[in-house]
Amino acid sequence: MIKANSIEPADIICIFFTATGDLKSAYPAEAARDMGLTMSPMMCLQEMDVNGSLPRCIRVLIQVERVTEKEIKHVYLGEAKRLRPDIV
């Protein structure tokens, strides 16, 4: 997401991660910290347990300083593409 949108770490306001309940080995924010994002506030939350929802899914919301929404490239990987076929 960061590469696809040419995001500079200084432009990041905060990052929210959600993960399905079947992911229990690590916090998603750990990976972001390992990538060098050490100054951004991050929060990890658990997704609602909805029947038929996509398993093993991490969602990421990055809030950045941008001028227009048209500049944003949404990134959906693997089976997550079926969640928003209108923008993939």
Specify if 2 maps to a domain: no
Q: Which amino acid is at 12?
A: I
pLDDT of residue 67: 58
pLDDT of residue 87: 77
pLDDT of residue 58: 95
Specify if 47 maps to a domain: yes
pLDDT of residue 80: 87
* 44 burial level (CB within 10 Å; 0-12, 13-18, 19+): middle
Q: Return the CATH number at 41.
A: 3.30.1330.40
Distance from chain centroid for Cα 26: 15
Alpha-carbon separation of residue 34 from 21, 28, 48, 78, 87 (angstroms): 23, 10, 27, 23, 29
pLDDT tens for 46-59 read: 999 999 999 999 99
Specify if 37 maps to a domain: yes
Specify if 1 maps to a domain: no
pLDDT tens for 3-48 read: 888 889 999 999 999 999 999 999 999 999 999 999 999 999 999 9
pLDDT of residue 32: 94
Specify if 3 maps to a domain: no
Domain range for residue 45?
9-83
> Is residue 69 scored above 70 in pLDDT?
no
User: What is the total count of domains within the chain?
Assistant: 1
Q: State phi, psi for 81 to the nearest 5 degrees.
A: -60, -30
